[in-house]
Amino acid sequence: MKIFFTWLAICLLTFAVVAENKAKIEVPLRFDRYYTYDDVVEALKLLHSTYPLMTKLDIVGKSEEGREIYALTINNSKTGEALSKPGVYVDGNIHGNEIQAGEVCLYFANLLLTKYGENEKITKVVDKNVYYIIPVVNVDGRYHFFADAQTSSSDRSIRIPKDDDRDGLLDEDAPDDLDGDGNICMMRIKDPLGDYKSDPEDSRLMIPLKPGEKGEWTTLGSEGIDNDNDGKINEDGEGYFDGNRNWGYDWQPPYVQNGAGNFPLVALGVKAIANYIHQRPNIIVNFAFHNSGGMWLRAPSIKEERLDQRDVAIYDLIGKNAIKMTPGYVYQPSYDLYDTFGDTDSHMFNLEGSYTFVGELFMRSQETYRDNINKPLTPASDADASTSRRGGNPEENRELIKFNDNLGLNELYKPWKSYKHPTYGDIEIGGWVKMSSRLPHPFMLPELAHRNAMVVLYAAEQTPEISMEIFEVKEIGKNLHQVRVRLKNAKGLPSMSFKSMSSKLYTQDMLKVTGVKVVSSGRITDLRMNKVSYQEHKPEIIYMSVPSYGFSEFQFLVEGKGDVTVSYSSRKAGSLLKTVKL
């Protein structure tokens, strides 16, 4: 019994130490660390409980493994109901390994809530818009990226098992953490006929041989063994199902678009989020965060599509400002990278009428260790170009290893260590760990999160601000009046995209006169020359939109006396109402 209580005391003490060492989550949130899936959920619940009058926390749906997908709505109900305002939607981490995307979403939510009432800019955009924020789309992927041994590029997929090697088994031969360090690193073996030798400037690195040189190493791929005894290693890992190829617009089957899934919206989380978005038709601009590469991508996703130049001008307003706020990033159409089908940005732009940006976070070129940041590294030779880790240049690898040593606290690279492999015999395991390569070191995370969140904030400032003025009421005959109305937009996003208007995606903005009989109406094409383009039918209603940084003017000829009510309603720009007496 004494032994039992001693054991119990040790267990309780160990649990207490672990609990104490776990970083406590508090508001304001901290961003010098990465959040696990459970941490993200805890952070969202804490933001909601801290600001209950400004937030709403919804479970959008569940993943293939039953994890909950959370959405945080931020809205000041004192300035209007959520659906009556322009909507700004932000999500991230649709690929499980792209975890810093979730941090940017959390940072943005934390910024809006903690700075509201304190910062004039934040207060204004929160009062003006509603914000829908889903930090983690691929909740299973994020969970397993932290919980399991991974490479920096693994665990991207929606977690649906797949028989990659067609042997009747599912995901039975994934990489293995042979040395138990929580990472899937690389394996190499001594081989005089190999294609590599140790870098003479740093023996931890390998460089490709030049003609006539003797080999030293052969690379064997990621850590792993032949789990299914078929003579192959790591040939059936997690099934590749790309959540960003499974959306509804222009979905193509897997033989056209790798990773697309068997049907559009077959991924549980993607379908749930698509439904969530569709139920919020006021969303006018949205951001989907990924990693890496330092890019702001816009629609369209395939070269065959072309946007109306008026929509391109709206995209340029935000995109060209974004690259000034995120140095080194580029802004371009998505198809300039490569054609994609069934992706988030095309779905949102073409089916939901929202101006959409994909933010590819972080550039590994920012991991610098040199005296002159503007001085280019020594160009790679043709022989180097096929094998180096970052763009085919051993000089870049040397800089990265120095960055690891001097700024990364030696946390990004694992030195090679001997290992007795059951198939290959004496090998070595080492190289870049999972929290490297595509992810900034935590000391770089706050600036990355802030800069990218501020791009979203800039876009939020540009949502439509429509004002309505009845600028002329004039009697032009017996019991007949001319009523002129001007709608002005003080901001850069129009009340409706030109793509949505041309495709008749949904009902246009509506300007309506009630209280009297409307004889005729139309758009004023030249106010000074008194020119009006009259419409033939339903003169009491004019369907239209309000342009970016512009205005539209309209004329109604009405019969009668008394109150005339003019109303404006827009799916994405809100509603206005004014009354005059005749």
**Phi, psi for 413 (deg, rounded to 5):** -135, 135
571, 506 Cβ separation under 8 angstroms: yes
Burial (CB < 10 A; 0-12, 13-18, 19+), residue 35, is buried
Please tell me the distance from the alpha carbon of residue 496 to that of residue 509, in angstroms, as a whole number. Answer: 8
Q: CA torsion 323→327→332→338, rounded to 10°?
A: -150
- Classify domain 37-145+268-359+446-461 at the CATH class level: alpha beta
DSSP string, 169-206: -SS-B----TT-SSB--EEEEE-TTSSEEEETTEEEEE
pTM of the model: 0.92
Concatenated DSSP letters of 231-270: S-SS-B-S----GGG-SSTT---TTTSTT--SSTT-SHHH
How many C-beta atoms lie closer than 10 Å to residue 516's C-beta?
Answer: 20
Instruction: Select from 1.10.8.60, 3.60.21.10, 2.60.40.10, 3.30.110.30 the CATH code of 466-581.
Output: 2.60.40.10
The one-character DSSP state at 159 is S
Q: Which long-range contacts (CB under 8 A, 24 or more apart) does 261-267 make?
A: 261/158, 261/160, 264/342, 267/64, 267/158, 267/160, 267/241, 267/243
Q: Could you give the C-alpha distances from 488 to 147, 355, 419, 513, in angstroms and in order?
A: 53, 20, 71, 18
Could you give the 3-state DSSP secondary structure of residue 345?
helix
The domain spans of the chain are 37-145+268-359+446-461, 163-237+365-432, 466-581
Q: Give pLDDT tens digits along the chain (582 positions).
A: 444 444 444 444 444 433 444 679 999 999 999 999 999 999 999 999 999 999 999 999 999 999 999 999 999 999 999 999 999 999 999 999 999 999 999 999 999 999 999 999 999 999 999 999 999 999 999 999 999 999 999 989 999 888 887 888 888 888 999 999 999 999 999 999 999 999 999 999 999 999 999 999 999 999 999 999 999 999 888 888 999 999 999 999 999 999 999 999 999 999 999 999 999 999 999 999 999 899 999 999 999 999 999 999 999 999 999 999 999 999 999 999 999 999 999 999 999 999 999 999 999 889 999 988 777 776 544 444 333 333 357 899 999 999 999 999 999 999 999 999 999 999 999 999 999 999 999 999 999 999 999 999 999 999 999 999 999 999 998 889 999 999 999 999 999 999 999 999 999 999 999 999 999 999 999 999 999 999 999 999 999 999 999 999 999 999 999 999 999 999 999 999 999 999
